[in-house]
């Protein structure tokens, strides 16, 4: 088909305006008579117009086989489904197909195009949110690290909040909600989720879910309504899916260089605030202005605080270690073999026996790591002083120099008993700070006394507070008590030299 628009225009002008003969124009431009007729009938090239697709006679007999293979693939793992090349190979080996690869590719492409699902655009009233996790890389303390970041988006205003965590887990999920609600200064009335195991224990039907205890605790505190998408229907929360990619491309490029997550999350929060100054296509106001309108549809923030934590039960092993989220944390040796409760937050791990906190550690986000507190093992070392120099919990335990001086002097004077006495001094750290005990040790060394009892007395004396005047303020029940003035006449004889 002739499609040169400049010549098309010239040919029409010569024949229809200048009156040139059609035969001379065909000869001059090398046109077929039918081509000239089409040019004169249409003001622009009409394009190729096939009334019906050409039949692929070579492939017709194999079309049902191709379609059956593609239908069977729906129940197969996504990464183990047939490619067009694999279908072509099987058709040749198993069915004697002698045609080309290209028409097989065209048939597969056409089948997928006709089977692709079409979605209805959804309406999003004010006060609704969507939540999901994404992944991205940062430079953390000089090392490239993959982090999980939670995004909560508001489809009505297009505002969103994101924050990063070392890993996608229950504590991160809960803390992300707490931070997002504080950022938006309110709680969306309805929040959409996928079917993450963090929130869903079991899928019981298209819309029925058995929810985890921690998710129910979050919902009970903030009182929002949940909505879980149908399985493999991520389009129901397509807004947050798009914003995860937007945040990764715009907030994590180039890779942020930070020393801790607190700094990173401050940067992400500021980026979310700046993004609210944009005007989204189809809107007349900025995101910030739409968000201000939407906030009237939010639930108010609860008066009480919410702790983002996960609770697990565990048993301390023979090394007085408790495992939580793949890492081990020490407890005092008195609790070895005991049933304990572990409470993990983003920053801290607390270990409880009954309702008493027996150990507190900073949260470790590595794998197969051990967090020791040297104080937990001192009571055991007092019974086994020979292990002092080989105790792993005491490795790299940096104490003031005076402790080393004290140990050398004790072992010189008391031989084998000196080590045990030194461990008793270390046990004073169970109730006082390193600085307080070090000051007491330095004073004891200055006055040439080495016993643990003397150091304990010095420590107690330094910690004693002066007694002030007794005050009845705040003790109204004592004001009614009458104390009689004592009769001191019996003691006057002592002043008079024994005379009554």
3-state SS of the chain: helix, strand, coil percent to 5? Answer: 45, 15, 35
Angstrom CA distances, 143 to 137, 165, 253, 256, 370, stand at 10, 16, 16, 11, 21
CA angle (372 as vertex; 366, 376 as ends), nearest 5: 155
Cα(424)–Cα(126) distance, rounded to whole angstroms? 65
CB 18 within 8 A of CB 36: no
Separation CA 245–CA 250 (nearest Å)? 9
Do residues 357 and 351 touch, judged by C-beta distance below 8 A? yes
If one counts every other C-beta atom within 10 angstroms of the C-beta of residue 40, the result is 14
Cα–Cα dist 438/445, whole Å: 10
Look-up of token digits 């028409």: 103
Q: Which of 401, 196, 189, 381 is nearest to 296 (CA)?
A: 189
* Cα 172 to chain centroid, rounded: 4
Maximal C-alpha separation, the chain:
163
As a whole number of angstroms, the distance between CA 48 and CA 280 comes to: 39
- Alpha-carbon distance of 259 to 255, in angstroms, equals 13
Residue located via tokens 């390193």: 434
Strands 348-353 and 356-362, how do they pair?
Answer: antiparallel
CA–CA separation, 184 and 180 (whole Å): 6
Query: For 292-317, how does the pLDDT look when each residue is reduced to its tens digit (9 = 90+)?
Result: 999 999 999 999 999 999 999 999 99
**pLDDT score of 233:** 66
pLDDT of residue 110: 87
pLDDT in tens, 121-145: 566 789 999 999 999 999 999 999 9
Q: Which candidate, 151, 164, 170, places its Cα nearest to that of 217?
A: 170
**pLDDT digit string, tens, across residues 218-264:** 999 999 999 998 877 666 788 899 999 999 999 999 999 999 999 99
**Cα–Cα distance between 239 and 154 in angstroms, integer?**
8
Parse the chain into domains and list their residue ranges.
5-41, 75-116, 128-297, 310-371, 378-463
Q: Which CATH class is domain 128-297?
A: alpha beta
Q: Mean pLDDT, to the nearest integer, of 286-294?
A: 94
How far apart are the C-alpha atoms of 358 and 39, rounded to whole Å?
92
Flag whether pLDDT at 382 surpasses 70.
yes
* pLDDT surpasses 70 at 496: no
Residue 265's nearest CA partner among 144, 140, 155 is 140
Kindly tell me if the per-residue pLDDT of 76 is higher than 90: no
CA–CA separation, 374 vs 391, rounded Å?
A: 9
- Is 60 exceeded by the pLDDT of residue 118? no
Q: Which residues contact 398 (CB under 8 A, 6 or more apart)?
A: none
| Torsion of the alpha carbons at 431, 437, 443 and 446, rounded to the nearest 10 | 130
How many Cβ atoms are within 10 Å of 140's Cβ, its own excluded?
A: 21
pLDDT (average), residues 415-435: 92
The predicted structure's pLDDT at residue 4: 77
């Amino acid at each position: 088909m002739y499609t040169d628009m400049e010549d098309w225009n010239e040919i029409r002008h010569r024949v229809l305006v200048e009156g040139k003969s059609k035969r001379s124009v065909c000869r001059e431009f090398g046109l077929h008579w039918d081509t000239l007729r089409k040019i004169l009938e249409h003001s622009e090239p009409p394009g190729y117009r096939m009334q019906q697709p050409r039949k692929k006679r070579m492939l017709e007999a194999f079309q049902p086989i191709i379609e059956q293979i593609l239908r069977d693939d729906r129940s197969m793992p996504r990464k183990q489904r047939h490619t067009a090349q694999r279908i072509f190979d099987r058709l040749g080996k198993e069915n004697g197909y002698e045609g080309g690869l290209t028409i097989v590719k065209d048939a597969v492409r056409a089948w997928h195009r006709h089977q692709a699902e079409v979605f209805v655009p959804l309406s999003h009233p004010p006060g609704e949110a969507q939540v999901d996790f994404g992944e991205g890389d940062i430079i953390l303390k000089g090392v490239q690290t993959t982090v999980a970041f939670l995004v909560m988006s508001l489809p009505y205003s297009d505002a969103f909040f994101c924050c990063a965590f070392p890993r996608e887990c229950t504590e991160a999920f809960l803390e992300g909600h707490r931070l997002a609600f504080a950022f938006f200064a309110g709680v969306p009335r309805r929040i959409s989720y996928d079917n993450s195991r963090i929130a869903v224990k079991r899928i019981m039907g298209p819309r029925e879910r058995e929810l985890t205890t921690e998710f129910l605790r979050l919902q009970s505190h903030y009182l929002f309504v949940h909505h879980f998408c149908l399985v493999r229907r991520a389009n129901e929360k397509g807004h947050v899916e798009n914003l995860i990619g937007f945040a990764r491309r715009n907030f994590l490029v180039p890779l942020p260089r930070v020393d801790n997550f607190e700094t990173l999350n401050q940067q992400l929060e500021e980026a979310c605030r700046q993004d609210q100054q944009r005007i989204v296509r189809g809107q007349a106001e900025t995101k910030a202005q739409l968000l201000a309108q939407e906030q009237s549809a939010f639930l108010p923030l609860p008066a009480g605080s919410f702790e983002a934590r996960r609770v697990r039960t565990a048993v301390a092993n023979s090394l007085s270690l408790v495992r939580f989220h793949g890492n081990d944390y020490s407890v005092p040796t008195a609790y070895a073999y005991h049933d304990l409760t572990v409470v993990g937050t983003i920053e801290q791990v607390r270990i409880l026996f009954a309702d008493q906190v027996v150990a507190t550690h900073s949260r470790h986000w590595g794998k197969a790591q051990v967090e020791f507190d040297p104080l937990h093992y001192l009571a055991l070392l007092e019974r086994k002083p020979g292990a002092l120099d080989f105790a792993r919990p005491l490795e790299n335990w940096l104490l003031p120099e005076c402790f080393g001086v004290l140990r050398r002097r004790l072992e010189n004077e008391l031989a084998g008993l000196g080590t045990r006495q030194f461990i008793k001094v270390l046990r004073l750290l169970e109730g006082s700070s390193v600085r307080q005990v070090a000051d007491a040790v330095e004073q004891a060394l200055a006055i040439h006394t080495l016993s643990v009892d003397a150091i304990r007395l010095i420590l107690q004396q330094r910690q004693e507070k002066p007694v002030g005047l007794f005050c009845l303020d705040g003790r109204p029940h004592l004001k009614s008590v009458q104390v009689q003035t004592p009769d001191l006449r019996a003691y006057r004889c002592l002043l008079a030299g024994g005379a009554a």
